[in-house]
Structure 1
């Protein structure tokens, strides 16, 4: 049974329960089904889109996101949700690459996307969210959604493009079902009366895991964007709240001046992922929020579902193995196999670093129209993540770094993240990023970019002392560069490719 079939069946039983709440008001599940049925009529009848067509969705967080998403699936279309912060030319790239028949865009972005399409001479229907949803006929419920195969594309997820052009990861209906089933098995079983709060982009992790909630009757409360105070207020207003936060969002929450007065008694669960979560922030979050944290590790190619663990209690800070396990990505998720291999593809012993490989029904169907990249990434049924990590004797997976970020200096491997973890212990450092830069004698040397907190000052001798107390001498940075901000993509991930370009262009001199 597909997710759209599930929600049609569910709505018959809980028609009067709240399905979505946003700035426009509350819709019940009965109203939600009526709305998405009307939108599906517009897509298939008014616009005449044949089954299998791709539909780009480019909009801010709104209840209409799920209406459009499920309407696409009801008539056998494939959705291509995009981050609302993308540049119009990036939107055009996704339209062209996915060969989309339609792009649905919010009113405030319509003109810029229209102009970019015209300049690029890309042929695609363009409609406003407000027009598509506003013109949908009412009072008609689609009795039988189109039958889809489990292997049919449901969601094309464009990778964040930290290296080169984004690729479209094809998430099939089976992938999304498997993601939801793993959520129920490992994390939670939501239902009517529970709230899924959306403050992160619904085109990404928040929207993906919201599927596990809405098809079981969970109430979707949708904020237009992320603001810590708005999140705090929503947690007070609604019951049994589950929230997804990228590590940068969680850091902003726990460091916000209002957090000391915030009431988190209605917070059921906060799950985080999508980037490095440093130990200092994690310890602080656990102290403030209590035992409500779940750390997940996944990729666009295996959505939200590779490994994970609950953070229940503060670890013994004197116990090295307890700290390492606390900072790990947990164990492999239900329905997923994870292993760590060397460059020859041979399984490495416990606590030895290698590439993380993943297998299971959650792994994508491939990259859209890119058989070469698919063949390189999925080999013998295993997804090669490009991430470096190690498993301990109890199968706890610790992420070390992206393979492309590994620094080799004087023949020794250096993992930037372990240096970044130490640097962030200094109270004056707000953010940091470590890269390797070419050097004749050593091959590469370590360079650290630092963002200081307001009023903070750069203390090199203090940093050197801290590093030498915790790391081998060869791992410490040879150079530092204080910057106002680090380059990031629209998902908040630091762009180390840009930092390497800065270094190559002499910005660090």
Structure 2
């Protein structure tokens, strides 16, 4: 069950196909990558004095070495701890210490700030710069035999949550979890062939990395932009160059791409699939993206605790506009994925019927083994054998799940539950609204009141009266915002999610 077999099979079957590319240039074929990874595995084991099961942290910007390292770690029976390269050095140091990492591989530009913090730790891990001569020498080691007896439930990827409401937790993803996620991609998201590619504009340490696995499994090319990240103009140029392009995007990235000035004249015929997830995609934005790009969008709803997989909506579902509830379905999170059971439950974990709102829970072989060194959080999240997502939603009679909000984001005003997403969907219907985020502000009489932070499109003016009239035309009066705050931008984390915690903190600081 060792995930490294994905690479070694691809090296045998599609050895001459491109495996890793940067910009428009092929760096390695699958045969070359398959030859290098066992040597790198041997070098890592020797350099870190490692034993099977040890954790190795990767603090790297997107680059081809990321994939060689991931597969080398699995080849050796080690566990990867991919860390968001945009975190503060102190946050990274906390993760490496919590994970008990024995070795840290870091980009040179990130290693300098991290080194003194690692040195302070009781069991300081060895730090190796990815661009250094020390790193290059790791490939000089004798090839290490594949750890082909690795247990399916052995830790493969320690996936740290974003930690926007406190210290991040390490979701333990096993080889089994990631095999299942890979196969589920083929069952529910998209087909992949060796003629295709995935372009990693989003961080490999997060969703884009998880989506790389099914592409390796089918001998497809992994392309890293020259910039290492997301630039709409660069992305469109890469689409024009590489056939069969797929991406994992946050909804904000889809929005930026379809509104880029270059999109009007871009050749997007090579675009195969954009899988989006990780935040709300509003119906108006989705309709515009479908109009611009065509039937090339697929949605996933999942968490790091159930990677890539809880519910989804494939490309065909996105364009089934003959269905009487088409728009409601576009606003949903799709249907339960093939290998997952999904329920909506009440406060006592009793299943709720269609139409009733409660917490979304799921179970299946995709669900994490638990949180690293956190039995209390594990017991709470996995109680009763179900992953409790903390998300609130409801099913319709046909099994389509509509997300309302995170439970912590729900607003309770005058004893009534108000779901910010419902209000955000309405406000985004205004042609001059670019982005919006709705949060609750404490109120002495009502408990909370609704506040909308609104970003207008460049060069236009917005006024509260027009937005208020729009809300009164579409939702109940008690749900409409009591105040509209016009801002230049919304605070977001490194994955493009709006940080409602910061908006609420701003309101609380104002009194």
2:176 is matched with 174
1:125 Cα offset (Å): 1.1
The answer to whether the 8 A contact 2:185-2:214 is kept is yes
Q: 2:361 aligns with which of 357, 361, 371?
A: 357
Comparing 112-121 with 151-160, which one deviates more in the overlay?
112-121
The alpha-carbon distance between structure 1 residues 28 and 212, as it changes in their structure 2 partners (threshold 3 A), is same
Q: How many residues align?
A: 506
1:193 is matched with 195
The answer to whether the 8 A contact 1:428-1:453 is kept is yes
Q: 1:415 aligns with which of 396, 407, 419?
A: 419
Alignment partners' CA distance in 2, 1:295 and 1:73: 29
The answer to whether the 8 A contact 1:429-1:456 is kept is no
Gaps in structure 2 of 5+ consecutive residues: none
Alignment partners' CA distance in 2, 1:352 and 1:170: 32
Q: 1:264 aligns with which of 263, 268, 271?
A: 268
2:218 is matched with 216
1:144 Cα offset (Å): 3.0
Alignment partners' CA distance in 1, 2:64 and 2:131: 12
The alpha-carbon distance between structure 1 residues 325 and 463, as it changes in their structure 2 partners (threshold 3 A), is same
Alignment partners' CA distance in 2, 1:386 and 1:333: 19
1:311 Cα offset (Å): 4.0
The answer to whether the 8 A contact 2:89-2:113 is kept is yes
- Say yes or no: does 1:497 pair with 2:498: no
Alignment partners' CA distance in 2, 1:125 and 1:142: 20
Runs of 4+ in 1 over 6 A off after TM superposition: none
**Partner secondary structure for residue 166 of structure 2:** coil
The answer to whether the 8 A contact 1:17-1:192 is kept is yes
**Partner secondary structure for residue 162 of structure 2:** coil
What TM-score, normalized to structure 2?
Answer: 0.96
1:143 Cα offset (Å): 4.3
The answer to whether the 8 A contact 2:41-2:143 is kept is no
**Partner secondary structure for residue 481 of structure 1:** strand
What TM-score, normalized to structure 1?
Answer: 0.96
Alignment partners' CA distance in 2, 1:137 and 1:7: 17
2:468 is matched with 464
Gaps in structure 1 of 5+ consecutive residues: none
Alignment partners' CA distance in 1, 2:163 and 2:460: 32
Alignment partners' CA distance in 2, 1:221 and 1:130: 19
1:61 is matched with 62
Alignment partners' CA distance in 1, 2:371 and 2:260: 39
2:108 is matched with 107
Alignment partners' CA distance in 2, 1:301 and 1:466: 38
Alignment partners' CA distance in 1, 2:414 and 2:121: 47
**Partner secondary structure for residue 84 of structure 1:** coil
The alpha-carbon distance between structure 1 residues 316 and 67, as it changes in their structure 2 partners (threshold 3 A), is closer
1:33 Cα offset (Å): 1.5
- Say yes or no: does 1:76 pair with 2:102: no
The answer to whether the 8 A contact 1:75-1:146 is kept is no
- Say yes or no: does 1:202 pair with 2:167: no
The answer to whether the 8 A contact 2:247-2:275 is kept is yes
Q: Deviation per CA, 1:409-464, whole angstroms, max 9, x where unpaired? A: 11111000110111112222221111111111111111111122222323111001
Alignment partners' CA distance in 1, 2:348 and 2:139: 58
**Partner secondary structure for residue 27 of structure 2:** strand
